[in-house]
Amino acid sequence: MLVAALIPAFREERFIRDVVTRTRAALETVLVIDDGSTDATGAEAESAGATVLRHPSNWGKGAAIKTGLRHLLDQGFDYVLLLDGDGQHLPEEIPRFIEETRRSGAQMIIGNRLHDLRTMPLVRKITNLFMSACISSVCKQKIPDSQCGFRMLHRNLIPHVFCETNNFDYETEMILIAARQNFSIAAVPISTVYGEEKSKIHPVRDTIRWLRLLARYRWGNAK
């Protein structure tokens, strides 16, 4: 089973070298998409041994993920593992995803931070529980932590997720597409890590986008 790591990154020069170094301890191939950063994100990732593709400007997290998925799909990998570049995901937990694919054969495996809520900030806890409940309802199956970006996709699923969404709601649409197309979805427990990173999600704009996306799939208007 060939697995590559994909890290979308925007202005993560403080964290990306460490994330790449630790990820390469688990997986040989690490691809970073520098989504128009104006700092040294790309250079730091390359110095740690990652392959780096650059967007000329900030196109959005979803667009960065799709750029990476297209590249890795052409390289013949069986699975692509996604994780963030800000240190919130522990690369040391990558083997959990690989073990789950071998156990269940699922085509999408999503990290689950909500198995232990003690260290999660209250606002994030409420938001994640609410969003996951909504997504589970639309998907008609239990998705414990729909907002977790630490996840793994099988190559058979990847061609289906090249949709028009380009921002943070893209990670939600991935799940909705996988469920609609009857791909199997599993979850693995992961650690909750919060440090000095700052969320790049716009609380109003991105929430509106998410609600519109959910409505499209709930009422059957999604393509």
- Domain architecture of the chain: domains with CATH: 3-218 (3.90.550.10)
Q: Say whether 100 sits in a helix, a strand or coil.
A: helix
Cα separations in angstroms, 128 against 115, 134, 135, 167: 12, 10, 10, 18
117 or 133: whose pLDDT is higher?
Answer: 133
Mean pLDDT of 154-175: 91
Give 38's contacts (C-beta < 8 A, 6+ positions apart).
11
| Residue 7, beta-bridge partner list | 32
Mean pLDDT of 71-78: 95
Backbone angles phi, psi at 153, to 5 degrees: -125, 135
Residue/partner pairs of 204-209 with CB below 8 Å, 24 or more apart: 206/167, 206/168, 206/169, 209/167, 209/168, 209/169
Q: Which of 72-76, 104-108, 117-121 has the lowest mean pLDDT?
A: 117-121
Q: Which of 66-70, 109-113, 163-167, 178-182 has the lowest mean pLDDT?
A: 163-167
**Residue 209 pLDDT > 70:** yes
Q: How does residue 201 score in pLDDT terms, banded at 50, 70 and 90?
A: low
Percent of the chain with pLDDT over 90: 65
Mean pLDDT of 166-174: 86
**Cα(90)–Cα(98) distance, integer angstroms:** 14
Mean pLDDT of 91-106: 96
Backbone angles phi, psi at 13, to 5 degrees: -60, -25
